[in-house]
Chain A
Amino acid sequence: MAVKVIIPTPLRAYADKRESIEVQAATVAEALAALTTQFGDLKKHLFAEDGKLRSFVNVYVNDEDIRYLQRDQTSVKAGDTISIVPSIAGGAPKRGRVFPWPRKR
């Protein structure tokens, strides 16, 4: 069945600049799999290397957080809308460790 996936602004560059994509799916997992099959560059921004959703990526089905439903096995039906919303997290490095940035040449 066709469900709509809303693409968050930062990731539209990896989805033909589209605001939403319609995919055929019966669960959230199927919808995200269809989405990342169609737009492979989205995958690394949604999923960690272990194949699980990144910890800061939240998914909603019609405004319901899937963590309070059946997570990625949450059923979807025709006409449902799936939203991908990040939590924003970060923080100062421990013991002065910072992420490498381009060195001056």
Chain B
Amino acid sequence: MSAVRLAVPDEVMRRIRAHGVDTYPHECCGALLGRDGDGRREVIELVPLANHRDDSPRNRFEVMADDVRLAEKMAHEKRLELVGWYHSHPDSPARPSEYDRDHAWPWYSYVIVSVQKGVACDVTSWRLQEDRARYEREEIETVAHPVGI
């Protein structure tokens, strides 16, 4: 059983899937704004962002530091936190790659949607363990509405 959970409104889940389909066969990416505390993390809204990996957009994504700062600013203005990121794996499973691990920090939630032949399939979420050796999967709890709104 997973030790960590991520509450995600069904509308946010729908938009993550739709973004993955829209950009297929390229990877999509974006930020997740929400709240973290008291043993619970919840996403409130998402911020779709541009994938800057023009050289290999089918199996790579990159959110530039300026966009990261923009997402942090948006979260601050909404009195939320930047709790994680999402991206798609076109025609690949919704599991983190070694490349994902090399470019991750602990604490963030990394949500991955698998898009198979243009159809959004599994959505999973992961957190990098503190020793950077592997990911821990976190259970996604789909909720009807953002909690606390």
Contacts and interface: CB of A to CB of B under 8 A. Distances in A.
Interface of A: 8-11, 13, 41, 44-45, 54-56, 58, 65, 85-94, 96-102
Nearest to B90: A92
Interface string B111-137: 000000000000000100011101111
A9 B82 contact: yes
Nearest to A48: B102
Interface of B: 27, 29, 53, 56, 58-65, 68-69, 81-82, 85, 87, 89-93, 95-101, 103-108, 110, 126, 130-132, 134-137
Contacts of A13: 106-107
The 9 A-B residue pairs whose C-beta atoms are closest, nearest first, are A10-B107, A93-B97, A92-B92, A91-B60, A90-B100, A92-B89, A88-B63, A89-B103, A58-B65
19 contacts: A10-B107, A45-B105, A45-B132, A58-B65, A85-B65, A87-B63, A87-B103, A88-B29, A88-B61, A89-B60, A89-B103, A90-B61, A91-B60, A92-B60, A97-B97, A98-B96, A98-B97, A101-B95, A102-B134
Contacts of A45: 105-106, 132
A85 B69 contact: yes
Contacts of A99: 95-98, 100-101, 134-135
B149 to A, nearest CB: 21
B127 to A, nearest CB: 10
A84 B82 CA distance: 15
Contacts of A58: 65
Given A44-B132, A45-B132, A101-B135, A88 B85 contact: yes
B100 A86 contact: no
Contacts of B105: 8, 10-11, 45, 86
A11 B131 CA distance: 13
Given A92-B58, A92-B89, 16 more contacts: A11-B105, A86-B68, A86-B105, A87-B62, A87-B64, A87-B103, A90-B60, A90-B96, A91-B27, A91-B60, A91-B61, A92-B59, A92-B92, A92-B97, A94-B97, A98-B97
